[in-house]
A and B are shown apart, each in its own frame.
Chain A
Amino acid sequence: GAVVSQHPSRVICKSGTSVKIECRSLDFQATTMFWYRQFPKQSLMLMATSNEGSKATYEQGVEKDKFLINHASLTLSTLTVTSAHPEDSSFYICSARDRRIQETQYFGPGTRLLVL
């Protein structure tokens, strides 16, 4: 099946630094990528929808200047958590929609961020 990778899988950083998370579709082209955040024992919360070549659409309550999303190619989207704080510590998961099979999306394995 289609594979979506995320890098890094785990990151620990100091408060105030910025962290970039990459999401790649390895064997298909993704017109749309989604970014989710998941706190412990909670569900996935959609943060933003990213379309290749255009600006991301952010969900209500998600600060676009805080969570910068770039979807520069059909196989890569990045999420940058700027000036990270301990409350940004979470599990970040991306998913990608195959442009050929629009109803299917494939999830990455997630990135665990810990901000000290």
Chain B
Amino acid sequence: SQQGEEDPQALSIQEGENATMNCSYKTSINNLQWYRQNSGRGLVHLILIRSNEREKHSGRLRVTLDTSKKSSSLLITASRAADTASYFCATDEVKTSYDKVIFGPGTSLSVIP
């Protein structure tokens, strides 16, 4: 199962520009995480934002969380060619009977040198 939507599905920008990706989800969550995946490789954890947090920064990354709208955004500033990858949000659902971490469909980012 997947939580919801990510948009855009694909994004192509010039090096130096900012990239914004959005994620929506359906259920109540404990936290939301963003991951990066290079083609055919494993996942790299980028940032975790808790449900009681609204914004978080890590280097060139800025994540926002709006629990009232059940949405999050990931902003990558001053993009580099090396940022080219797929980006996924993953939500840690509020525990009912068992743990559940669900991924969004992802955004494929291409940064053109």
The chain A residues found within 8 Å of chain B, CB to CB, are 32, 34, 36, 41-46, 49, 51, 57, 59-60, 91, 93, 95, 97, 103-110
Contact of B99 among A59, A60, A97, A107 (CB under 8 A): A97
Contact of A108 among B42, B101, B103, B105 (CB under 8 A): B42
B45 touches A107 (CB 8 A): yes
**Between A and B, how many residue pairs show CB distances below 8 Å?**
56
Bound state CA distance, A77 and B104, in angstroms? Answer: 24
Main secondary structure of the interface of A (DSSP, over half): strand
Bound state CA distance, A103 and B47, in angstroms? Answer: 12
A34 touches B101 (CB 8 A): yes
Query: Closest CB-CB distance, B71 to chain A, in whole Å?
Result: 17
Contact of A44 among B50, B92, B103 (CB under 8 A): B103
Q: Can you give 21 contacting A-B residue pairs, CB < 8 Å?
A: A32-B99, A34-B101, A41-B108, A42-B105, A43-B104, A43-B105, A43-B106, A44-B88, A44-B90, A46-B1, A46-B101, A51-B98, A51-B99, A57-B97, A60-B1, A103-B31, A103-B50, A108-B42, A109-B41, A109-B42, A110-B41
Query: Closest CB-CB distance, A66 to chain B, in whole Å?
Result: 17
Bound state CA distance, A95 and B92, in angstroms? Answer: 13
Query: Closest CB-CB distance, A11 to chain B, in whole Å?
Result: 15
Give the residues from 87 to 113 in chain B that come closer than 8 angstroms, CB to CB, to chain A.
88, 90, 92, 97-106, 108
Query: Closest CB-CB distance, B108 to chain A, in whole Å?
Result: 8
A105 touches B88 (CB 8 A): no
Query: Closest CB-CB distance, A54 to chain B, in whole Å?
Result: 9
A103 touches B92 (CB 8 A): yes
> With A45-B1, A45-B2, A110-B42 given, is the CB distance from A36 to B98 under 8 Å?
no
Contacts of B88 in A (CB 8 A): 43-44
Contacts of A41 in B (CB 8 A): 108
Query: Closest CB-CB distance, A51 to chain B, in whole Å?
Result: 7
